Amino acid sequence: MNYTVYNPDNGQIVKTFTTVDPELVDLNLQNQVYIEGLFDSTKFYIDNGQPVAIPSRPISDYIVYNFDWTSKEWIIETELTKQNIRNNRNDLLIAVDRVNPVWYSTLTSEQQQELQAYRQALLDVPEQSGFPSDVTWPAKPAWL
């Protein structure tokens, strides 16, 4: 028989196992309960003894989400998300800061101002009011 062990307080699946002796199921559960069947802990939680599909994780290039077993919602992992965004911002800054001074001097004054404004906007990304969950990336000058 196949079994799924879960935490009754929040429905989080702890483990699955198969046994030929159903009497062994109750051993070593320690404040956990089980249901019959094998359910993947990355796809399900248990509510009132029934498997429930975990909602799809939001899709984002930079935001890191973790599933909150109590609220049954995806929440933003703030510190990791901040680091991802800063890393991306730093990569974009490196591309700007690599601009050769000789090449920079050949830019028109308007292009130089655009480059400076773009660089400053990148530096200001962490200061945006929605950071880190709502970031508006500055537009890179088309000629860059």
- Provide the 3-class DSSP secondary structure of residue 118: helix
Residue 97: predicted pLDDT: 87
Residue 136: predicted pLDDT: 95
Q: Are residues 13 and 49 in the same domain?
A: yes
Q: Are residues 7 and 48 in the same domain?
A: yes
59 in a structural domain: no
68 in a structural domain: no
Q: How many CB atoms lie within 10 A of CB 7?
A: 15
24 is in which domain, residue-wise? 2-54
Residue 26: predicted pLDDT: 64
What's this model's pTM, rounded to 2 decimal places? 0.76
Q: Are residues 49 and 88 in the same domain?
A: no
Give the residues of the chain that fall short of pLDDT 70: 22-30
Q: Which is nearest to 47 in space by CA: 95, 12, 96? A: 12
12 in a structural domain: yes
Residue 25: predicted pLDDT: 64
Residue 37: predicted pLDDT: 95
Query: What one-character DSSP code corresponds to residue 78?
Result: H
